[in-house]
Amino acid sequence: MMVDDLARPRIRRREASSPISDPLVSDPLIIDSLITDPLITVSMIAAIRSPSHRHRLLASPWVDYRQYDRPARSSSDARHQHLTGLATTRRNSDSPSCDRTNVTSHRAPGKVRAHEVSEISFKGHQKQEEMSDQKQEQHSESNFLTQFPRGQLKWFFSILAITAAFTVWLLTKDAKGSEIASILSLATTIVSTALTFLMFLYQNTSKGNRKGIPPGNPRRTSRLLVPLAAIVLGAGVPIYYWTEIHKPNSRVTDQMSVFNGKAMHDGGQATITIPGRPPQHDHLAIVLTLTNHADVGDCVRPAKLDITPIIDSTPVIDGRPEQLTSVRPGQEVRLDLSDVTRQAAVLVTLDTPDPSCRVELRVSQAVLYN
Amino acid sequence: MSITAGRTRGVLFAALLGLSACQVGGPVTGSAPTSAAPGIFGGPVNAETPPVNVGTLTDQPGFGELIPGSNVRAGFDIDLQRWLGNHAPHRFLPVHVDLTIDDRIRALQEDRVKLVVATFSITDERSKKIGFAGPYMITQQGVMVRAGDDRIQNMDDLTGKTVCTLSGSTSLSQLKEGTLKDQINVIEKKGYKECADQLLDRQVDAISTEAISLEGFAHRDPTRLSVVKNIRFGAQGRFGIGLRHGDVATCEVMTAKLKEFITSGSWDIFFDQHFPGLQSELYKPDPNNLNPCE
């Protein structure tokens, strides 16, 4: 191993103009946005994808709507039409002719009264239809299951892949991902709300053209669960990994305690304790700032801060004690805490050209991350 | 609409979302913007030596003095302005704009001048309003008395005395808030000459400002004025070039040129010319440790 390699500290510095950009992540914000954004996004894709001229603006792409455009052929549709007609008839049942009409239409032999014949006939017909309906439902369910791998599985995995990829991409962007998610959520929320509103308007104005659409179709509901399941899986698995296994970055700025940092002078030392015994993450990104409370003195800009991590009460960097690195105020420094077994701290030594300077050391930003 | 068309639209929409995300991803770094204002030396210049307004003083011997009756300017700051005009990446002709001590920040903020080279001490407080490149001179606060007046030999002798200084200067802040707070009577004047006149007229006991500035006066009139050698106090006076706030590009150019100015030997030549007999090492900044531009 080269001497240079030995001397290379495990502290990394970043430019002062870019104070902590990567590890300063607001994970809750990202996850909050991630939970809403993919749902909205995919629902928009589904909404736009479905044929709008058939009054299905926000309908699911998993529903075969062509069946509703055909004349009612299934027992369910027939029953629906029959019941609709019956209801209409019953609403007019005050008229005796209506009863006669029913008797005539369901005539039965023997002593049975005409209206009883009609009722029996209707009940029998209803029973037959219910049995037929159950068969049809079973047939329909089997169709759904058999068609799922061919048509819907493709959509399921497409949405799963898109959602998961988008979620992972946003998570890896850290703070930037949070901002992207926030910005996108506004646009998608506005557009999806507008589309929803338009859909309802369109549905209300085209009721007469959709006699074949049954309200609350169970197949439609069940098929809506497919994209929902894809979204939940696509977003949920990465979020679970990020929060439970990888562990999100932890902003600990307010938990950093600074000792002897109120009025530092040239050569003065302050100690900053890192929360956690040991810290729950492997790295710390920290930005330190100086404040000159006096009206005079050029103290902050020319100052340098010598940083020495103290691992388990011992100033150590890469196994070599008493090594340090210098950063400017406002410049990010990253410390390796992976070897901490009990407690970690940071020793800061002020180096300023003007010995008369008195400055206050503050922790501007601190994030524990893996 | 066919299923294929609907699907295509969905894919296009997803692609647009991705594109917009990429577009949004660029500027949202959370980091502060760098130079917003174009630097006065950064862009192409049509004229070979375009004029640039530079704020300067007229009544400070050694740094910036307009010699009465001759319209000739002389001093370390004047020479530095000319040197910068000749050595900047795009040469410029410094047009001297007369300023008072109290008017330097306002002149920059109102864009009356692009640069101020006028014994302008860099402070953290001022850096919130304007920019600085430098320092090109380092000094400390001192005291000047009438020649032969030995009543004031050290800091304790100042107690109860009347001291003149300049309004709007760091010297005033140090007299009012430093170790001499409430121990002396402070008289504020707008210019150095007024203070010197009051001292010579025995209306004040001493003048207090940056020691190197006092040396210029004493060098000009050694028979009547004298700098107290044992008195140096307060924060360092680190003279810098005043710039518009946020003009990082110009700051970087000026800082690089100041480094060249110091290392090339020009600094020593001008210092010896205007402050003969003084030890330059006491006032010369480290060229490798100039302030970073932010």
A161 versus A5: which is more confidently predicted? A161
Residue A44, chain B, CB below 8 Å: the answer is yes
Question: How far apart (Å, rounded) are the C-alpha atoms in residues A323 and A349?
Answer: 12
Specify the DSSP class assigned to residue A55: T
Q: What is the least distance, in Å, from the CA of B163 to any CA of chain A? A: 19
A301 with B294: Cβ contact below 8 A: yes
DSSP string of A286-309? EEEEEEE-SSS---STT-EEEEEE
Nearest CA-CA partner of B37 in B293, B261, B214, B255: B293
CB contact under 8 A, A328 and B25: no
Residue A337: what pLDDT?
A: 85
Instruction: Quote the pLDDT of residue A131.
Output: 58
With contacts defined as CB-CB under 8 Å, which chain B residues touch A50? 6
Of A143 and B194, the structure prediction assigns the larger pLDDT to B194
Provide the 3-class DSSP secondary structure of residue A93. Answer: coil
Mean pLDDT within A188-208: 73
Length of chain B: 294
Poorest-pLDDT segment among A27-41, B45-59, B203-217: A27-41
Whether residue B123 and residue A46 make contact (CB cut-off 8 A), yes or no, is no
Residue A226 predicted with pLDDT over 80: no
Mean residue pLDDT across chain A: 67
Q: Best mutation site among B236, B241, B248 for testing chain A: the one with the most A CBs within 10 Å? A: B236
Has residue B266 got a pLDDT over 80?
yes
Ramachandran bin of A72, using left for φ above 0, alpha for ψ from -120 to 50, beta for the remaining angles: beta
Of the candidates B28, B135, B238, the beta carbon closest to that of A179 is on: B28
Say yes or no: B121 contacts chain A, CB-CB below 8 A. yes
Q: Any residues with CB less than 8 A from the CB of A86 and at least 6 apart, and which?
A: A122
Looking at the complex, report in whole angstroms how far the Cα of residue A137 sits from the nearest Cα belonging to chain B. Answer: 26
Judged by DSSP in three states, B53 sits in strand
Distance CA A263, CA B191 (A): 34
CA B221 vs CA B138, B147, B228, B279, B293: distances in Å: 23, 10, 15, 19, 38
**Among candidate residues A85, A62, A64, A81, the one with its CA nearest the CA of residue A73:** A81
CA B127 to the chain's CA centroid = 10
CA B1 to chain A, closest CA, distance in angstroms equals: 5
Vertex B270, ends B267 and B276: CA angle to 5°? 115
CA–CA separation, B153 vs A38, rounded Å? Answer: 78
Contact of B19 with chain A, judged by CB distance below 8 Å, is answered with no
End-to-end CA distance of chain B: 58
B148 touches chain A (CB under 8 A): no
CA distance B248 to chain A (A): 11
Q: Does A358 touch chain B (CB under 8 A)?
A: no
Range picked from A68-77, A188-197, A216-225 for highest mean pLDDT: A188-197
Spatial contact of A68 and A210, defined as CB atoms under 8 Å apart: yes
What count of CB pairs under 8 Å joins A to B? 124
Q: What band does A24 get if pLDDT is binned at 50, 70 and 90?
A: very low
CB-nearest partner of A162 from B14, B234, B291? B14
CA distance A86 to chain B (A): 36
Cα-Cα-Cα-Cα torsion A146, A150, A153, A154, nearest 10 degrees, comes to -170
**Residue A24 contacts B, CB cutoff 8 Å:** yes
B255 touches A: beta carbon within 8 Å: no
A328 touches chain B (CB under 8 A): yes
> Which residues of A are less than 8 Å from B25 in CB distance?
173, 176, 180
Residues 6+ apart with CB under 8 A from B250: B39, B40, B41, B42, B114, B115, B131, B133, B243, B244
In this complex, which of B10, B138, B234 lies closest to A49 when CB atoms are compared? B10
The larger pLDDT score, comparing residue A141 to residue A219, is at A219
Q: What pLDDT sits at residue A151?
A: 66
Cβ of B125 and A51 within 8 Å? no
Higher pLDDT, A278 or A19: A278
pLDDT for residue B32? 34
* Nearest one of B87, B27, B33, B40 to B249, comparing CA atoms: B40
Quick one: which of B25, B31, B50, B30 has its CA closest to B40?
B50
Chain B touched by A183 (CB under 8 Å): yes
Q: Which residues of B are less than 8 Å from A357 in CB distance?
A: 235
Helix A114-147 vs helix A96-105: crossing angle, to nearest 10: 70
CB-nearest to A297 from B10, B13, B235 is: B235
- Which residue among B7, B173, B292 places its CB closest to the CB of A328? B292
- CB nearest A296 (choices: B10, B14, B234): B234
Average pLDDT over residues B65-90: 90
Would you call B27 an interface residue with chain A, using a CB distance cutoff of 8 Å?
A: no
Residue A162 has a pLDDT of 84
B81: left (phi over 0), alpha (psi -120 to 50) or beta: alpha
Task: Tell me, yes or no, if B235 comes closer than 8 A to chain A by beta carbon.
Answer: yes
Q: Output B35 or B177, whichever has higher pLDDT.
A: B177
**Residues of A with CB below 8 A from B209's CB?**
none
**Nearest CB partner across the interface for A176, out of B28, B123, B170:** B28
CA gap A18, A260 in Å, rounded: 27
Residue B258 has pLDDT above 60, yes or no: yes
Q: Flag whether residue B160 sits within 8 Å of chain A, measured between CB atoms.
A: no
Q: pLDDT tens for residues A102-112?
A: 434 444 444 44
Q: Tell me the pLDDT band of B13, cut-offs 50, 70 and 90.
A: very low
pLDDT of residue B204: 94
Contact A41 B17 (CB under 8 A): yes
pLDDT band with cut points at 50, 70 and 90 for residue A338: confident
**Beta-strand relationship, A332-336 and A283-292:** antiparallel
Kindly tell me if the per-residue pLDDT of A34 is higher than 80: no
- Measured between beta carbons, the chain B residues lying within 8 angstroms of A330 are 294
Q: Which residues of A touch B177 (CB under 8 A)?
A: 294-296
CB-based contact, A100 to chain B, within 8 Å:
no
Model ipTM? 0.78
Any A CB within 8 A of B236 CB: yes
pLDDT in tens, B205-234: 999 999 999 999 898 889 999 999 889 998
Asked if pLDDT for residue A147 goes beyond 70, the answer is: no
The string of pLDDT tens digits covering residues A44-53 is 555 555 544 4
Q: How confident is the model at residue A204 (pLDDT cuts 50, 70, 90)?
A: low
Q: Which of residues 243-302 of A touch B (CB under 8 A)?
A: 292, 294-302
**How high is the pLDDT of residue A233?**
77
Mean pLDDT of chain B: 83
**pLDDT band at B36, cuts 50/70/90?**
very low
pLDDT bin (cut points 50, 70, 90) of residue B293 is very high
pLDDT (tens digit per residue) in A282-319: 888 999 999 998 888 999 999 999 998 888 877 665 55
If one counts every other C-beta atom within 10 angstroms of the C-beta of residue B290, the result is 22
Q: In the structure, what pLDDT confidence band is assigned to residue B195 with cuts at 50, 70 and 90?
A: very high
